[in-house]
Amino acid sequence: MTIRLLVMDVDGTLTDGSILIGPDGEMMKTFNAKDGYGVKHLLPAAGIEPMIITGRNSSILAYRANELGITALYQGVHDKLPLLKRLMDERGLDVSEVAYIGDDLNDLEAMRFVGVCGCPADSSQGIIDVVDYVCRRDGGRGAVREFIEHLIRLNEGR
């Protein structure tokens, strides 16, 4: 099994789940630089495509995805599995070639479908109970980078 695609959730996974809303409705999110380095540099070097599927719509996320070179960005997706299946078919990927990292129950169906799934340490218990890999780090605090390093080790047979 070689992982060729990493699907990531955002809120609670690439971020700590906080959504800061100012008095005029403007929103802010924080992203981890170590996660970003892993996505931008480690994944491509390992031949793994990054993909984001998230339930929320955010111009902040579109900006961050562009910064990291993520072209497969799907926002406002509440039923993630049908989209994931279609995208896998388009890429000719088997479930054993796909990894997923998420933190909450809206990720569960897609996570159960893929070959390898992981979650941040502070994920909901319903996710922690079913994943293959529970990160030591929390969402938005390096969990994605940790999972990327785990996938690279899997691909290298370590």
Q: What is the pLDDT of residues 17-68, one digit of tens each?
A: 998 888 887 788 999 999 999 999 999 999 999 999 999 998 999 999 999 9
On average, the pLDDT of the chain sits at 95
Q: Residue 158: what pLDDT?
A: 67
* Bridge partners of residue 72, in order along the sequence: 51
Please state whether the predicted TM-score (pTM) of the whole model is above 0.85.
yes
Q: Residue 132: what pLDDT?
A: 97
Q: Residue 64: what pLDDT?
A: 96
* Pairing outcome for strands 98-101 and 116-119: parallel
71: left (phi over 0), alpha (psi -120 to 50) or beta: alpha
Kindly state the average pLDDT of the residues 79-100. 97
